[in-house]
Each structure stands twice: as C-alpha cells, then as structure tokens.
Amino acid sequence: MGLYGGDEFAGKACDHELKGLNALLNCWIEDLNFPCICIVDFLGFRLIASTILPIGSDTIIYGSNNGGIVVKDEVRVNISF
C-alpha cells in the first residue's frame, strides 16, 4: 500500500502539496524560496516532480534537513515601514 495507504490518497497528497505551495507564494514573503513543482496526470497515473533544494543546517530557518531528527524553528523578523 506504500506510504499513503493507496494511490487515491497519494494523489490527494500531491494536490495538497501544490495548494500549500500556491498559498505560500501568494504571501509574497521576501527571501522565501520554494522548489519548482509539477504534477503530471497521464493514463490514470499521477506523478509529482520537484526540484532538489540545496538545504543545509546553515540555510534552513524552519523545518528539518535530516528527516525530522532535528527540527529548527529560528525566528527572523524583518519589519519595514
């Protein structure tokens, strides 16, 4: 059954991944970078293709670069008027 418990749930996860990325892009946060993502539907199969980002312990602000062993939540606030 795989990671998602079936193909239908895996396809839904692809849709939610794209919706989340679109929501973040619409926030217009300066210096926030995203991977390129493409969802391909072909003959009843769905594929999500994403670029690999050069993430390291010195570049990540929020999240994990080692599968969740260490989760970073550094706060950087830049407010300008």
Taking only the tens place, the pLDDT of each residue in 2-53 is 777 887 888 888 888 889 888 988 988 887 778 888 888 889 888 888 888 7
Q: Which domain holds residue 24?
A: 7-73
Beta pairing class for 45-50 and 62-63 = unpaired
| Whether the Cβ atoms of residue 66 and residue 47 lie closer than 8 Å to each other | no
Q: Look at residue 20 and tell me if it is in a domain.
A: yes
Indicate the number of domains in the chain.
1
Q: Look at residue 1 and tell me if it is in a domain.
A: no
Q: Look at residue 11 and tell me if it is in a domain.
A: yes
Q: Look at residue 2 and tell me if it is in a domain.
A: no
Q: Look at residue 79 and tell me if it is in a domain.
A: no
Q: What is the mean pLDDT of residues 63-78?
A: 76
- Identify the band that residue 76 occupies on the pLDDT scale cut at 50, 70 and 90: low
